[in-house]
Amino acid sequence: MQLDSHDHRALGERLDLFHFAPEAPGMVYWHPRGWAAYRALEEEVRRRLRREGFEEVRTPQLMRREVWERSGHWDQFPEGLFTLGDAALKPVNCPGHLALAARRSLSWRDLPLRYAELGLVHRDEPSGALHGLFRLRQFTQDDGHILLPEESVAAEVERFLDSLAGFYRRVGFDEIGYAFSTRPAARAGSDAQWDRAEAALRAALGDREHALQPGEGAFYGPKIELVLRDRLGRRWQCGTIQLDLVLPERFGVRYADGRGARGAPAMLHRAMLGSLERFFGILLEHHAGRLPGWLAPEQVVVLPVSDAALPWAREVHQRLVDAGLRARLDDRPESLAKRIREAHALCLPHVAVVGEREQRDRRVSLRDHGRDALPLDGAIAAMRRACAP
């Protein structure tokens, strides 16, 4: 199949990031360059989770049928489960997080309780629906779950929406929309629970303009989705926050309120990106392969002009690595012009050229930083600023 040059699958091959193969349908082979970029995205998610007070956890990949019956997935999502006898690979992370919370004796002082997991999940998508990084059978969700009193929901959701919109703008998406999905026909919980959940999310939306999606909520609760418009005018649902008044009760999570009563807390299911793989593919197409500096697989390549400059080139490369930059030394016996062309073809943010003059003066010439060579410390500071998330 011939792919458009801006298709993320073609970009993945051309930039040596990842590939797909028939023996692993709906799963990714990450190459070293692609994995470096993926890990940079993952670390940015982790940084934001830490800042927001989440505790990162890890839960089992395979759980018995009774877990999925209790959550509702065995009945509501049977076609999407990879089953192994009387168990299933997890399609979501929330039952594991609820199992952790249920072990604790919670009071109102412990809330909000925030668990996060960059959890590998599996969904048995039809082969005809698979589409590169956009639709996979194995992918990673940046899942966060917040247990909190019901009266705190609207303020928590509003903070999430504001914070996530700011992140999207920083990675190049200026147009952000919102969609509000209400109760589906097949659902868990009472009408009274759904009335309260939908009212809380409407309050959190405030005066934000949004599309209404009747019947498109999760089976356990309504949701707000953030929708991004890319440079080609396409719209992508990415971040989401869902209010769940059902599953904490089903999994036996209780807390004591300030009046001495015990009851189930509300739970927010939230994700910045949804699937990390899918968001990476969206970014790749949106930026036509030229990813922001903080996400670039390699942030700088060091090119010695000649063998005589090689000792300084090696020292420069090591200093860049020590400074936390993803750097590579290209000392192949090719012409400088060819190596520069290849670096640009790989969409590297920075190309550092060092010759005998730079070696003598202990400087570096950055191709994107004008004609004058910079002292090494200054060059490193400039690149670190340009590559900051």
Same domain, 262 and 331: no
Same domain, 328 and 197: no
**Residue 1 is assigned to a structural domain of this protein:** no
Same domain, 356 and 248: no
Q: Say what the pLDDT of residue 2 is.
A: 59
Report phi then psi at 205, rounded to 5: -65, -30
Q: What is the pLDDT along the chain (389 residues), one digit of tens a residue?
A: 556 778 999 999 999 999 999 999 999 999 999 999 999 999 999 999 999 999 999 999 999 999 999 999 998 888 889 999 999 999 999 999 999 999 999 999 999 999 999 999 999 999 999 999 999 999 999 999 999 999 999 999 999 999 999 899 989 999 999 999 999 998 988 999 999 999 999 999 999 999 999 999 999 999 999 999 999 999 999 999 999 999 999 999 999 988 878 999 999 999 999 999 999 999 999 999 999 999 999 999 999 999 999 999 999 999 999 999 999 999 999 999 999 999 999 999 999 999 999 999 999 999 876 667 899 999 999 999 999 88
Domain edge (last residue) among 286, 314, 338: 286
Given the residues 223, 250, 286, 339, select the one marked as catalytic: 223
Same domain, 202 and 329: no
Residue 223 designated active-site = yes
Number of domains comprising the chain: 2
CATH value at residue 319: 3.40.50.800
Q: How far apart are CA 376 and CA 317, in angstroms?
A: 11
**Residue 293 is assigned to a structural domain of this protein:** no
Residue 141 designated active-site = yes
Given the residues 33, 48, 123, 183, select the one marked as catalytic: 123
pTM (2 d.p.): 0.93
**Residue 294 is assigned to a structural domain of this protein:** no
Residues 6+ apart with CB under 8 A from 155: 204
Residue 94 designated active-site = yes
Residue 174 designated active-site = no
Q: Say what the pLDDT of residue 1 is.
A: 56
Given the residues 90, 122, 145, 350, select the one marked as catalytic: 145
Residues 6+ apart with CB under 8 A from 253: 98, 101, 102, 106, 147, 264, 265, 267
CATH value at residue 54: 3.30.930.10
Same domain, 143 and 182: yes
**Residue 230 is assigned to a structural domain of this protein:** yes
Same domain, 209 and 319: no
Q: Say what the pLDDT of residue 261 is.
A: 87
Domain edge (last residue) among 221, 255, 286: 286
Residues 6+ apart with CB under 8 A from 182: 198, 212, 213, 214, 215, 216, 217, 222
Domain edge (last residue) among 286, 316, 331: 286
What is the DSSP secondary-structure string of 344-377? HHTT-SEEEEE-HHHHHHTEEEETTS-SS-EEHH
**Residue 292 is assigned to a structural domain of this protein:** no
Same domain, 282 and 372: no
Q: Is 322 exposed, middle or buried (0-12, 13-18, 19+ CB in 10 A)?
A: exposed
Given the residues 48, 122, 269, 369, select the one marked as catalytic: 269
Contact between 20 and 28 (Cβ < 8 Å): yes
Q: How far apart are CA 115 and CA 94, in angstroms?
A: 10
Residue 97 designated active-site = no
Same domain, 328 and 184: no
Q: Say what the pLDDT of residue 230 is.
A: 94
Domain with 174 in it: 8-286
Same domain, 130 and 217: yes
Contact between 153 and 270 (Cβ < 8 Å): no
Q: Say what the pLDDT of residue 75 is.
A: 86
Same domain, 261 and 338: no
Residue 318 designated active-site = no
Residue 330 designated active-site = no
Given the residues 73, 94, 250, 369, select the one marked as catalytic: 94
Same domain, 336 and 361: yes
Same domain, 320 and 272: no
**Residue 24 is assigned to a structural domain of this protein:** yes
